[in-house]
Amino acid sequence: MKILVIQDHLRSGGTERQSVLLARAAAAAGHQSSLLTFRPGGALAAPDGVDRRSLQPFDLGLDWFAPGLFRSVRRIRPDVSVCMGRMANCYAGILQSRFPEMPVIATLRTGKPVPLLYRRSLRTVRHVVANSREAGNLAVARLSVPGDRISVIANALVFPPGPPAARDPAIRARAGAGAGTFVMLCVAMFRPGKNQAELVEIAAGLPRGSDWQLWLAGEGSERARCERLAASLGVAPRVKFLGYCADPSPLYAGADAAVLASRSESLSNFLIEAQARGLPAVATEALGVSECFLPGRTGWAVAPGDRGAFREALLRLMAEPAGRRSILAAEAAAFARAAFDPATQTAAYFGLFERLRSP
């Protein structure tokens, strides 16, 4: 089977990582796998065994510009095409009309407002994959997608989890964290919707005298503002800006909890990766967030803007004895590795492709 994955740009976000993972898994399963991006380059490398193509002759910095898209699809002649990301999905409906015999699959994996062309695509493509139950329900209730044309296939774990991460004193020491320091970790691009500033505000309001650090890994337009905020609140020494991490796995080994205040999720790659490494989570409620952990057991979702409830959940985790934390870590890892297993999720895609190709 010829499988085409379409993405606007291979930046370092979760959707882009899922695109690469799906294209790689297709090639590994013996399919002819192509990954077509609007822009060349990007933070993520094209996977081995995958036909990587770009539409722009050089990077114009325009996520929406897809010159020669239909010509390229005609040359590749895929049996099925999957559109990942907002801009690629805006073209999905047009692709379906241009190639009516080819199943085009749109994906809904964002909590951001959906543009008009994206909404039209969701209603006109052969099928829609949502990456969380909540996103699937949203597609039916608010975006007028027929329920029989929606499948829920969760994000897959991108990094091989290995054993649940034991706390690594060396990693903590490099950040100046002692044995008793409670380390909170967030791995996300610094975009407005990811809302790292809220995490800085929450951490700054923890009781005076408590021993904590907040690690923020990622780059983006909001980083400088968050650095200024940490300085203005007097917590700059405790908030560590770690930059872009191609593989954040070592950070999980240094942290005690995953934290997220994002307003634009559908299913958080960061939270499921953190759970697989044994980190309990505290997160603001957003689309699909409560599906990333076992609510009330390995993670806690709090209402947006309720900083008091967020801090209370963090303080409960801080007070947990070491034995209880080990039990939480094992339960979180077992849940995430079963629920977001890459082989299971990619097999669900391949099964869907076969069904859509059948007469």
- DSSP letters of 291-358? GSS-BTTTEEEE-TT-HHHHHHHHHHHHHS-HHHHHHHHHHHHHHHHHHT-HHHHHHHHHHHHHHHH-
Residue with tokens 């990766």: 273
User: According to the model, what pLDDT value does residue 44 have?
Assistant: 86
The answer to whether residue 162 scores a pLDDT higher than 70 is no
Q: For 14-60, how does the pLDDT look when each residue is reduced to its tens digit (9 = 90+)? A: 899 999 999 999 999 999 999 999 999 998 877 788 999 999 999 99
276's tokens: 């697989």
For residue 54, how far is the Cα from the chain centroid?
A: 23
Decide if 168 contacts 277 (C-beta within 8 A). Answer: no
Residue 163 has pLDDT above 70, yes or no: no
Among 166-170, 275-279, 350-354, the range scoring the smallest mean pLDDT is: 166-170
Within its chain, how far is the Cα of 26 from the centroid? 20
- The predicted structure's pLDDT at residue 165: 55
Question: How far is 225 from 190, CA to CA, in rounded Å?
Answer: 10
What is the mean predicted confidence (pLDDT) over 176-201? Answer: 95
50-59 pLDDT per residue, tens: 999 999 999 9
pLDDT at 43: 85
> pLDDT band at 286, cuts 50/70/90?
very high
pLDDT at position 164, please?
61
Q: How far is CA 250 from CA 159, 245, 246, 294, in A?
A: 11, 10, 11, 24
Residue 236 token pair: 């700059």
Q: In the chain, what percentage of residues exceed pLDDT 90?
A: 84
Residue labelled with tokens 């079963």: 338
The angle that helices 69-76 and 86-98 make with each other, rounded to 10 degrees, is 70
- Residue 266 is classified by DSSP as S
- What would the pLDDT profile of 112-126 be if each residue is shown by its tens digit? 889 999 999 999 999
Cα(78)–Cα(33) distance, rounded to whole angstroms?
A: 9
- Predicted local confidence at residue 220, as pLDDT: 94
More confident residue, 19 or 358: 19
**Predicted confidence band of residue 13 (pLDDT cuts 50, 70, 90):** confident
Lowest pLDDT segment from 17-31, 53-67, 284-298, 318-332 = 318-332
Q: What percent of the chain has pLDDT over 70?
A: 98
How many other β-carbons are positioned within 10 Å of the β-carbon of residue 107? 28
Average pLDDT of the chain is 94
Domains of the chain: 2-155+341-357 (3.40.50.2000), 169-339 (3.40.50.2000)
CA gap 202, 164 in Å, rounded:
27
**Which three-class secondary structure state does DSSP give residue 1?**
coil
- The candidate with the shortest Cα–Cα distance to 257, out of 158, 191, 165, is 165
Tally of helices (H runs) and strands (E runs) in the chain? 13, 13
Please give, one letter per residue, the 3-state secondary structure of 34-51. Answer: EEEECCCCCCCCCCCCCE
Return the number of other C-beta atoms located less than 10 Å from residue 208's C-beta. Answer: 5
Decide if pLDDT at 279 tops 70.
Answer: yes
pLDDT at 41 (0 to 100): 92
For 88-147, what is each residue's pLDDT tens digit?
A: 999 999 999 999 999 999 999 887 889 999 999 999 999 999 999 999 999 999 999 999
pLDDT score of 136: 94
